[in-house]
């Protein structure tokens, strides 16, 4: 609590709570009754056989459902665990904590077959989210332990000591070893499994992957490449490019958000200062390149004409990443830095919630960009909603918002 008090003090001393500075409070929508109502309504419509919401249509905001073997399937069960966490933070709610927990466990069962066979490749880390959440509730839950270890083993099996990374996408040419910056988020499952098993090789894999990503994905200005193609037989970099961004030399915002979060998380686990510096560098790029209206574009370098779409999901991921970075600054007693990142988060949440909040949609937010080159934009996205809820929880836990 002392550390959180330091942040509040630094916010005050820095003047960011003054109306003259344009400081805004966290958006009230973070804690709207609609959050629980919408999530509950979706949770009560679990299909049989199992399917999971991934994104909505662009017009009415209805969820589009997919089979479990998708990289996004872990996010809605994890959202239910986030709602369980909210009951602990906020007290009495319309739905009890035990109800959210029961729903989270039920929705996780559809992922169990993926422990033995999945086509999501490196994204097993995202699949593991609800099982890692379960272990926070019940550290002895054998089903959750088995799931986390299985997904970690899947990811570890994709590691190449020649390249020094885990392979992201499978390719027809086995010498084309593709790594995307998103994979920084999947490294968490390796640390979770190491804690369960004592297998330190999993930590070594995570560190090797992060080290290579730091060198080959992150530019000098803090921007990032989406994809790096390596030669699997030599480890040499073949190409640095994009798949979902505007251009090979542009910075796709969701990838940048994954990087901020991923490197802050690597510092949390290893205390390796290079990771903190990289997270700071990427955060500086993010903040410097955020437009004056605060709305996060799909790609920071995409032209303004025709109008570039926003990506509310990238904003929500970055909000969580910057809060995690703020935690790391507090861990080295840099309360001023922590307050700076926290204030940026609150401004970003306000601007992007004003844009994207949709009371009539099944999703909480609109204006998400799934894949702009494929014209999949202006939708609700399941991970955008998940990170919207967790951002609210994080602010409450810091004493910076009220339920």
- pLDDT tens, per residue, the chain with 403 residues: 545 555 654 554 444 443 333 457 999 999 999 999 999 999 999 999 999 999 999 999 999 999 999 999 999 999 999 999 999 999 888 899 999 999 999 999 999 999 999 999 999 999 999 999 999 999 999 999 999 999 999 999 999 999 999 999 999 999 999 999 999 999 999 999 999 999 999 999 999 999 999 999 999 999 999 999 999 999 999 999 999 999 999 999 999 999 999 999 999 999 999 999 999 999 999 999 999 999 999 999 999 999 999 999 999 999 999 999 999 999 999 999 999 999 999 999 999 999 999 999 999 999 999 999 999 999 999 999 999 999 999 999 999 999 9
Are 76 and 65 spatial neighbours (Cβ–Cβ below 8 Å)?
Answer: no
CB-CB neighbours of 235 under 10 Å: 15
Q: Which of 87, 169, 163, 60 is nearest to 121 (CA)?
A: 169
Spatial distance between the Cα atoms of 211 and 164, rounded to a whole number of angstroms: 8
Cis upstream peptide for 245 (omega within 30°): no
Task: Round to whole Å and give the CA distance between 147 and 203.
Answer: 18
Structure tokens at 356: 């994207």
The backbone torsions φ and ψ at residue 89, rounded to the nearest 5 degrees and listed phi first, read: -80, -35
Beta strand pairing call for 165-166 and 159-160: antiparallel
Return the bridge partners of 281, or none.
Answer: none
Distance from C-alpha of 146 to C-alpha of 127, rounded to nearest angstrom? 13
Instruction: Determine if residue 228 is left, alpha or beta; phi over 0 gives left, psi from -120 to 50 gives alpha, anything else beta.
Output: beta
Omega before residue 306 within 30° of 0, cis: yes
Which of 198, 209, 120, 217 has its CA nearest to residue 160?
A: 209
SS3 (DSSP) at 160: strand
User: 144 phi and psi, to 5 degrees?
Assistant: -70, -40
Token pair 């560098």 is found at 281
Residues 6+ apart with CB under 8 A from 128: 74, 147, 148, 151, 152, 188, 189, 192
Q: Distance from first CA to last CA of the chain, Å, rounded?
A: 18
Structure tokens at 118: 């999945």
DSSP 182: G
pTM given for the model: 0.95
Query: Closest Cα to residue 184, out of 201, 149, 161, 208?
Result: 208
- Count the Cβ atoms, other than its own, within 10 Å of residue 142: 8
């Amino acid at each position: 609590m002392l550390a959180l008090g330091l942040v509040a003090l630094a916010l005050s001393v820095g003047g960011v709570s003054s109306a003259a500075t344009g400081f805004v409070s966290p958006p009230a929508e973070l804690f709207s009754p609609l959050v629980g109502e919408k999530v509950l309504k979706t949770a009560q419509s679990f299909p049989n056989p199992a399917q999971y919401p991934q994104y909505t249509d662009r017009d009415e905001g209805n969820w589009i459902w997919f089979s479990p073997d998708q990289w996004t399937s872990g996010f809605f069960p994890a959202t239910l665990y986030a709602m369980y966490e909210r009951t602990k933070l906020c007290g009495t709610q319309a739905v009890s904590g035990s109800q959210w927990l029961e729903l989270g466990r039920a929705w996780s069962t559809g992922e169990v077959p993926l422990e033995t066979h999945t086509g999501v490749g490196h994204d097993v880390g995202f699949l593991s989210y609800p099982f890692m959440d379960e272990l926070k509730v019940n550290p002895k839950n054998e089903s959750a332990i088995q799931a986390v270890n299985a997904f970690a083993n899947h990811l570890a099996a994709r590691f190449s000591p020649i390249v020094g990374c885990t392979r992201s996408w499978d390719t027809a040419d086995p010498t084309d070893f593709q790594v995307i910056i998103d994979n920084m988020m999947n490294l968490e499952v390796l640390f979770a499994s190491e804690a369960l098993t004592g297998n330190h090789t999993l930590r070594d894999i995570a560190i090797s992957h992060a080290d290579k990503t730091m060198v080959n994905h992150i530019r000098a200005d803090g921007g990032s490449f989406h994809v790096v193609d390596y030669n699997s037989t030599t480890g040499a970099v073949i190409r640095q490019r994009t798949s979902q961004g505007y251009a090979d030399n542009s910075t796709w915002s969701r990838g940048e958000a994954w990087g901020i979060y991923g490197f802050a998380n690597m510092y949390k686990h290893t205390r390796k200062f290079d990771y903190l510096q990289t997270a700071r560098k990427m955060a500086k790029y993010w903040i410097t390149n955020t437009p004056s209206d605060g709305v996060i574009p799909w790609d920071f370098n995409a032209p303004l004409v025709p109008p570039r779409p926003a990506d509310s999901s990238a904003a929500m991921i970055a909000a969580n990443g910057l809060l995690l970075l703020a935690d790391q600054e507090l861990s080295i007693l840099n309360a001023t830095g922590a307050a700076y990142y926290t204030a940026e988060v609150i401004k970003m949440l306000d601007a992007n919630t004003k844009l994207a909040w949709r009371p009539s949609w099944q999703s909480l937010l609109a204006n998400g960009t799934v894949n702009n080159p494929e014209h999949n934009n202006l939708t609700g996205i399941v991970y955008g909603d998940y990170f919207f809820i967790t951002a609210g929880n994080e602010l409450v836990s810091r004493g910076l918002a009220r339920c």
